[in-house]
Structure 1
Amino acid sequence: MIQQKSHLSNMDVWKQWKESGLIEAKQSLIETYLPLVEYVSNRLSIGLPKNVSKDDLAGFGVLGLIDAIEKFDYLRGLQFETYASWRIRGAIIDGLRQGDWVPRSVREKSKKIEEAYQQLEQQYSRSVTDAEISAYLQVSENEFRQMVQEISITTVCSVDDPIREEDSETRLSLLIDEKAKNPEHTVNEFYLKDTLAKAIERLTEKERTVVSLFYFEELSLTEIAEVMSLSPSRISQLHSKAISRLRAALGRYQEQLFNH
C-alpha cells in the first residue's frame, strides 16, 4: 500500500520532525503516507451516495493524516499506518457528517434496527431472522429489506464518536498501547474480543463471508458480488445487517462494561 523507507531512515525523519520541528521532515512524512488517504477514502466511498465527491473524501482525509502526524508518538513503538488510518477515517466521516450527508430519517432507521438486533439477540441468545426483526419493528419483510438497503450508507463508524452520547471519551481513546501493562485494559480487551468473536459466530454464513471478504480480504462490494454470484445491492444488504448485528453486540458489551 505504501512503499516504505528503511526503518532507520523513517525513524530519522520522525526524529527531525518531532524533536527539531523541521517542516521539511513533516512534509516528507505527509508525502510518504499520502497513499493511505487514497486507500481509506476509496474504501469509504463504497456505498456512499453518488453526490459525495472522492476529492472531498481525500481532502478530509489529508486533514486527518496531518493531524495523525502531529499527534503520533513515534517513540512508543506503535504502527503509524494503523493509527493514521483511524485518524484519516475519522476525519473523513466527521467531514461528511458536518455536511449532513445522511438524512435524519435514515439515521433513525439505523438506530431502530440496531436496537432490534440488540434486544432480540440478547433475548434469544442466537442470530435472529429477518422475519423476527420485521415483527419487532412492526413492518413487513419487504419493508425491512428496504430499510436495510437505505441504511447501507451509515455502516461506517468514526472512532471520534463518543462512546456514550453524554460522554466526551471516544473510541479512539480506548486504543491500547500494547506495551503498557494495565490489567483493567487487558481484561476489557479480552472480553471485547470475545464479544466480537461470539457476535461474528452468530452472523449467517453469507454475512460472515461478506465481512471476511470486505474487511480481511479487502475486496470491494462489487467484487464480493461477483465472488458470491449475488447482486451488489444484495451484498450491500448483507453487509448492513452484519454491521447492525455487530454494533448491537458492542452496545451490549458497553452496557455491561459501564454497569459494572
Structure 2
Amino acid sequence: MALQKQSHLSNMEIWKRWKEERSLEAKKRLMEYYLPLVDFVSNRLASGMPGSVSKEDLASHGVMGLIDAIEKFDHLRGLQFETYASWRIRGAIIDGLRQGDWVPRSVREKAKKIEEAYQKLEQEHLRSVTDAEISSYLQVSEKEFQSMLQEITLTTLCSIDEPIKEEESETRLSVLVDETSKNPEYKVNEFFLKETLAKAIDRLTEKERTVISLFYYEDLSLSEIAEVMSLSPSRISQLHSKAILRLRGSLGRFKVQLLHE
C-alpha cells in the first residue's frame, strides 16, 4: 500500500488545522492523502467476496468509513491513523453490505442451519465433527455442503478486529470484556466465555486454525492465504466459513447455558 509522500511535520500540521480550526481544506487534504487506504482494504476484502459484490460498492462504503475515521481520530494521542482508519473502513464496508441486504434470505438460512448443526453435533460428540457427519445431518451430499459453504462466505465475515472504543488499539478480538468490572458474576461468565472460546479454537482442524490466524491476526487476504497454504481461494473461503460457524456454534451453546442457569 503506497501513500503519497508527505513529511510527518506537515501531516501533523494538517491534522491540527482540521481538528483545531475545522479547516475544510485540511480535511480535504487528509481525505486525498489517505484515500489509498480505501482501495487497499476494499481490494483485500473483495478477494473473499462472491462475484456479485463489486469492488466499486466496497470502495463506496469504505470512503464513508474513512470520513468517519478522520472525524473521530485524536491526532494528539500518538496512535497510528492508518491502523485505526483500516478498522473503520473495513467495518463500514461489512456494515454497508449487511445493511444493503446483499445476502439473500435463503443463504442466511443455510448459514444458520450449518451453525446449528455444528452446535448440536459437536456438543454430542465433544470433538470436531467431519464434513461427512455435517452433510449427513443436513441430509445433503458432501459436494452440496461444500457448495453451501461457498455461498455463505459473506455471512461469516466478522468485524471482530474493529476497535472497541473510539481511537483505542484494543479490539473485540484482543479483549473480550472490561477488566475493570467488579461484578463477581460477570467475572465468572467472562472466565467461562474465554474457556469456551479456547476449547472451540482447539477443536478446529489444523487448516481452519491456520486460516483464522492468518486472516485475523496476520491480516492476510483470503487469496494471500491461498498462496501460503497452496490451496485454491475457494477452498480457503470454505475453511474460513467452517471455522467461523464452528466458533459461533460453541458460543451459542455458551449463551444457552447462561440462559438456563
TM-score (norm 1): 0.75
CA RMSD of aligned residues (A): 3.6
2:175 corresponds in structure 1 to: none
Q: 1:112 to 1:83 in 2, by over 3 A?
A: farther
Quick one: distance in 2 between partners of 1:191 and 1:207?
A: 23
Q: 1:219 to 1:84 in 2, by over 3 A?
A: closer
Q: Does the 8 A contact of 1:44 with 1:156 survive in 2?
A: no
Quick one: distance in 1 between partners of 2:214 and 2:179?
A: 34
What is the CA distance between 1:42 and its match in structure 2? 0.9
1:184 aligns with one of 178, 181, 184: 181
- For the residue of structure 2 that corresponds to 1:183, the secondary structure is coil
1:145 corresponds in structure 2 to: 146
Q: Does the 8 A contact of 2:163 with 2:169 survive in 1?
A: no
Quick one: distance in 2 between partners of 1:10 and 1:190?
A: 44
2:200 corresponds in structure 1 to: 199
Q: Does the 8 A contact of 2:45 with 2:221 survive in 1?
A: no
Instruction: Note the alpha carbon deviations across 1:132-177, whole angstroms, 9 max, x for none.
Output: 3234334333332222122123222356xxxxxxxxxxx9684485
1:168 corresponds in structure 2 to: none
Q: Does the 8 A contact of 1:2 with 1:33 survive in 2?
A: no
Q: Does the 8 A contact of 1:2 with 1:32 survive in 2?
A: no
Q: 1:53 to 1:76 in 2, by over 3 A?
A: same
Q: Does the 8 A contact of 1:45 with 1:54 survive in 2?
A: yes
1:136 corresponds in structure 2 to: 137
What is the CA distance between 1:98 and its match in structure 2? 4.2
2:101 corresponds in structure 1 to: 100
Equivalences for 1:152-163 in 2 at 5 Å? 152-158=153-159
What is the CA distance between 1:105 and its match in structure 2? 0.4
Q: Percent of pairs identical after alignment?
A: 71
What is the CA distance between 1:30 and its match in structure 2? 1.7
Quick one: distance in 2 between partners of 1:2 and 1:151?
A: 32
What is the CA distance between 1:92 and its match in structure 2? 1.6
2:86 corresponds in structure 1 to: 85
In structure 2, what residue type is equivalent to 1:143? E
In structure 1, what residue type is equivalent to 2:22? G
- For the residue of structure 1 that corresponds to 2:152, the secondary structure is helix
Bigger relative contact order (CA 8 A; separation at least 6)? 2
What is the CA distance between 1:77 and its match in structure 2? 4.8
Q: 1:158 to 1:258 in 2, by over 3 A?
A: farther
What is the CA distance between 1:111 and its match in structure 2? 1.5
1:120 corresponds in structure 2 to: 121
Q: Does the 8 A contact of 1:93 with 1:158 survive in 2?
A: yes
Quick one: distance in 1 between partners of 2:207 and 2:255?
A: 27
Q: 1:225 to 1:78 in 2, by over 3 A?
A: closer
1:163 corresponds in structure 2 to: none
Q: 1:2 to 1:99 in 2, by over 3 A?
A: same
In structure 2, what residue type is equivalent to 1:246? L
Quick one: distance in 2 between partners of 1:72 and 1:190?
A: 32
Quick one: distance in 2 between partners of 1:52 and 1:210?
A: 22
Quick one: distance in 2 between partners of 1:89 and 1:68?
A: 11
Q: 1:64 to 1:138 in 2, by over 3 A?
A: same
Quick one: distance in 2 between partners of 1:85 and 1:173?
A: 10
Q: Please, which moves more after superposition, 103-112 or 76-85?
A: 76-85
Q: Which runs of 5+ in 2 are unaligned?
A: 171-177
What is the CA distance between 1:37 and its match in structure 2? 0.8
Q: 1:227 to 1:75 in 2, by over 3 A?
A: closer
1:68 corresponds in structure 2 to: 69
Equivalences for 1:16-31 in 2 at 5 Å? 16-31=17-32
